[in-house]
């Protein structure tokens, strides 16, 4: 595996630790080789030291000297720019010698952990040097990270560029949410059980809330984030993928094509609900208390243009126009510096058509819900009314809770472990296709265009649950956001 951008944050915090964890779990072939490519003038030893530090700081599993040594033997670093013919030729030589020395068989994966502005140069170089073309019986794959464009047109252009060098089945687009155990569990929950499916439709579900809340601010990423914003950063990818998994029909099988077929059908049927002035909300955080810490507002963050309209909170209402879902609003929201870090999908049920216990009981009761807790406290929760012990018929909401950490002894692997392994195995089920990416932009573009034409986002104080306009957005429909 070759990593471009190996000195970046993503590689240091996620990719390198995940590669070590895979090695430690015995899931990498003995000959596996890792090649870093970048501008630094590093020796093999410098690269090993850098990776070792990243592994010790970020790996999930215990550090074992023998595993590390075997992995480090296969590490190399090539110095160069992304448009440097000679350096790419040297990379090609390095990979060819690794094939000879370690038996890697011409199977090369290129991880583009670099901003999309560099995709063109790197792809061009991989093509020019012949590295993109596999020999007989071997494979070449490319792994790309979002952002996959900033709207439908740019995504289309990017896909065209990547596909002009690598055929679609060699392209692995990372959406790391799909690598999370709890996200894959959506499919187990829905399709391995009989309990949920009869209720999973417009006849029983009132609405769906998909929340991805973060307590962190932009910190060092302010420069990158300015101009992107919450909707492009996570709704376009993670949240729409969650929506697709929740709303799709059962695939014929779990092979990648069948799964993608079902997701694509959902994305094709999904549209914003209009008018956008009433069905969307966006905000920017201001200074406030995040737990016990007083944190600065967005406009004071270094690298962020104080005049910028980039949102750090985004909420929208979507509709999936299928027989199963027509008329059920899907509310998606995400934000930085919110009350706490939590990602969850809540299916909120309609109220019982008749309440035989009287008005007092009915007014106490909330709506039933199935909540898929993606993170943290991974699990599934069901909320329903239950009799309070005593001599009167008092009913109150209770939770029935399945927790991963209590039910299973083994810890869940990190998303990147699963995804990197799947790339090496050529298993593409957990990677959104070109078509999914473009359809997701098609859903989001009208909202982004509307926002671009309608002034500033609202303010919300750090540590709260977003701007008042987001509460109004649901309030108009007689609903409220869950406070996870």
Binding-site residue positions: 39, 146, 176, 180, 214, 233, 336
- 103 and 31 Cβ atoms separated by less than 8 Å: yes
**Options 234, 239, 281, 419; binder of ligand BG6; rule CB under 6 A:** 234
Report how far residue 101's alpha carbon sits from residue 264's, in angstroms, rounded to the nearest whole number. Answer: 43
The backbone torsions φ and ψ at residue 142, rounded to the nearest 5 degrees and listed phi first, read -125, 140
The count of residues interacting with ligand BG6 (CB under 6 A) is 4
| Nearest alpha carbon to residue 102 among 65, 75, 136 | 75
48/233 with CB nearer ligand BG6: 233
For residue 401 the two structure tokens come to 């809770």
Sequence-ordered list of residues with C-beta below 8 angstroms from that of 83, at least 6 positions apart, any chain: 121, 124, 125
Quick check: 301 binds ligand BG6 (CB under 6 A)? no
By the 10 Å C-beta count (0-12 exposed, 13-18 middle, 19+ buried), 455 is classed as exposed
Is 238 among the catalytic positions? Answer: yes
98/234 with CB nearer ligand BG6: 234
- State the nearest-atom distance from the C-beta of 42 to ligand BG6, in Å: 27
234/316 with CB nearer ligand BG6: 234
- State the nearest-atom distance from the C-beta of 430 to ligand BG6, in Å: 14
- State the nearest-atom distance from the C-beta of 316 to ligand BG6, in Å: 17
Catalytic residue, candidates 76, 150, 207, 238: 238
- State the nearest-atom distance from the C-beta of 378 to ligand BG6, in Å: 12
- Of 332-361, binders to ligand BG6 (CB under 6 A) are 343
**Omega before 225 within 30 of 0, i.e. cis:** no
- State the nearest-atom distance from the C-beta of 225 to ligand BG6, in Å: 7
Interface mask toward ligand BG6 for 106-125; x: CB under 6 A: --------------------
Long-range contacts of the stretch 132-140 (C-beta < 8 A, 24+):
132/165, 132/166, 134/106, 134/107, 135/106, 137/105, 137/106, 138/105, 138/106, 138/107, 138/108, 139/106, 139/107, 139/108, 139/170, 139/426, 140/107, 140/108, 140/109, 140/110, 140/166, 140/170
For residue 158 the two structure tokens come to 């990017």
98/415 with CB nearer ligand BG6: 415
- Of 43-102, binders to ligand BG6 (CB under 6 A) are none
Quick check: 417 binds ligand BG6 (CB under 6 A)? no
The closest residue (CB) to ligand BG6 is 233
* Binding residue numbers for NADP(+): 39, 146
**Options 99, 215, 233, 344; binder of ligand BG6; rule CB under 6 A:** 233
95/155 with CB nearer ligand BG6: 155
Quick check: 214 binds ligand BG6 (CB under 6 A)? yes
- ∠ at Cα 168 (167, 174), nearest 5°? 125
Report how far residue 243's alpha carbon sits from residue 211's, in angstroms, rounded to the nearest whole number. Answer: 11
206/233 with CB nearer ligand BG6: 233
Radius of gyration of the chain (CA): 24
Catalytic sites, residue numbers: 238
- Interacting residue ranges for ligand BG6, rule: CB under 6 A: 214, 233-234, 343
């Amino acid at each position: 595996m070759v990593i471009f951008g190996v000195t970046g944050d993503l590689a240091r915090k996620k990719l390198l630790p995940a590669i070590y964890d895979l090695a430690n779990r015995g899931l990498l072939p003995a000959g596996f080789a890792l090649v870093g490519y970048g501008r630094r003038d590093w020796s093999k030893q410098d690269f090993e030291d850098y990776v070792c530090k990243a592994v010790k700081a970020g790996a999930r599993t215990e550090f074992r000297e023998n595993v590390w040594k075997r992995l480090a033997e296969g590490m190399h670093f090539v110095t160069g720019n992304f448009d440097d013919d000679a350096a790419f030729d040297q990379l090609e030589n390095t990979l060819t010698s690794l094939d000879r020395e370690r038996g890697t068989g011409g199977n090369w994966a290129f991880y583009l952990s670099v901003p999309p502005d560099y995709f063109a140069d790197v792809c061009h170089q991989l093509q020019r040097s012949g590295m993109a073309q596999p020999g007989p019986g071997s494979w070449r794959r490319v792994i790309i990270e979002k952002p996959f464009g900033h709207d439908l047109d740019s995504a289309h252009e990017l896909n065209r560029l990547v596909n002009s060098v690598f055929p679609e089945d060699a392209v692995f687009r990372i959406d790391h949410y799909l690598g999370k155990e709890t996200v894959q569990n959506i499919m187990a929950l829905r399709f391995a059980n009989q309990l949920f499916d009869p209720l999973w439709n417009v006849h029983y579900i009132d609405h769906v809330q998909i929340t991805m809340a973060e307590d962190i601010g932009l910190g060092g990423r302010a420069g990158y984030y300015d101009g992107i914003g919450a909707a492009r950063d996570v709704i376009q990818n993670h949240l729409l993928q969650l929506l697709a998994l929740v709303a799709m029909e059962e695939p014929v099988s779990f092979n990648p094509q069948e799964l993608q077929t079902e997701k694509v059908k959902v994305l094709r049927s999904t549209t914003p609900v209009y008018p956008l002035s009433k069905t969307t909300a966006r905000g920017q955080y201001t200074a406030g208390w995040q737990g016990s810490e007083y944190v600065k507002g967005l406009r004071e963050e270094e690298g962020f243009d104080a005049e910028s309209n980039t949102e750090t909170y985004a909420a929208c209402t979507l509709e999936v126009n299928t027989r199963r879902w027509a008329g059920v609003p899907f509310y998606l929201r995400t934000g930085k510096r919110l009350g706490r870090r939590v990602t969850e999908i809540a299916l909120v049920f309609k109220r019982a058509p008749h309440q035989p216990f009287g008005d007092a009981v009915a007014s106490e009761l909330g709506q039933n819900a199935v909540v898929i807790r993606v993170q943290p406290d991974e699990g599934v929760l069901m909320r329903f009314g239950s009799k309070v012990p005593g001599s009167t018929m008092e009913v109150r909401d209770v939770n029935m809770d399945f927790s991963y950490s209590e039910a299973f002894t083994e810890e869940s692997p990190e998303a990147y472990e699963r995804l990197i392994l799947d790339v090496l195995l050529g298993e593409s089920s957990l990677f959104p296709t070109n078509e999914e990416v473009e359809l997701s932009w098609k859903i989001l573009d009208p909202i982004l265009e509307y926002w671009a034409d309608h002034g500033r986002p609202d303010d919300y104080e750090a540590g709260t649950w977003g701007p008042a306009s987001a509460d109004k957005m649901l309030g108009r429909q007689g609903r409220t956001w869950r406070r996870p």
